[in-house]
Amino acid sequence: MGEAMKNRVKQRTFAVLLAISLCLVTQNARAEVIELHPTDTPEDAMTALEGAGPGDEVVVFPGTYRFRVYFEGAGTAAQPIVIRAADPTDRPVWDLEGDIIANWPGTYGGGDRGRAIWQITGSHYFVSGIVFMNGTDGGSGDGGGVRLKFSDNVTFHDCLFRHNDNGLQGAGTATLVEFCEFDGNGLPGSTDGSHNLYIHGGEITVRYSYIHDARRSQNFHIRANRSVFEYNWIARAFSYMGDMMPCTMENDRVPCE
């Protein structure tokens, strides 16, 4: 190889490495730590939560939060969007007691806005140390604490779901639930089935969790394409403990019942 060719190869190699370095610096510079306090206005808090991007960490301080959240952001495997309690021993609470979900403040105005306190249609979220309470539609039992709306790679760690129509419901790819508690979910007297844990599509793994005292129907009602339950404590259902069947729909983005 001639000297001129060697120089051109070196220049191109340097240019590629420089571009990669600049890209990494830009990605790292973008990641933020965002603090959320109960004294923030719902509008400011919703903007902070829903605007989080790859690598961002939303630190939620103790207190009660009373608004809906709709997550459409996309993290990555290397840079997930993290939403965590500032103090795991004093967990922040999303509590919508006193009205149906749809009537609380929220940016999302779709016809299914009353389905859950949090709805997640984005990807690569890590949620830790959050409490979800009293999410209800007030009648059919179709509301809930959190709804997975065809999400991808969402993890719930050390979260509590209490007294919602359904604690966690929906369909998502590669959902992981670990060290969580589902306590007394299910809407008493509801016309449709409501459960502590109701999954109707996608893939889910649940481990090291306490699922108990469903107030309606089962502790778990699973219709996922693939589901793994391991090392859980499951106790005292309203009807029977639970059931697990594969979703047999050809299109896994169509919920199974």
Q: Please state, as a whole number, how many other Cβ atoms lie within 10 Å of the Cβ of residue 181.
A: 17
Scanning the chain, the segments in alpha helix (DSSP H) are 3-30, 42-50
24 has pLDDT over 50? no
pLDDT > 90: percent of the chain:
77
Angle at 57 between CA 54 and CA 60, to 5 degrees: 145
pLDDT at res. 11: 47
User: Of all residues in the chain, what percent carry a pLDDT higher than 70?
Assistant: 84
Residue found under tokens 């109707």: 200
Confidence of residue 149 (pLDDT cuts 50, 70, 90): very high
Work out the mean pLDDT of the chain and round it to a whole number.
88
**pLDDT at residue 30, rounded to an integer:** 66
Cβ within 8 Å of residue 91, ≥6 positions away: 62, 85, 129, 130, 131, 158, 160
Residue 99 is encoded by which pair of tokens?
Answer: 């009205």
φ and ψ of 169, to 5 deg: -140, 165
Coil, helix or strand at residue 6: helix
Could you tell me the sign of the dihedral formed by the alpha carbons of 227, 192, 70, 131, in that order? negative
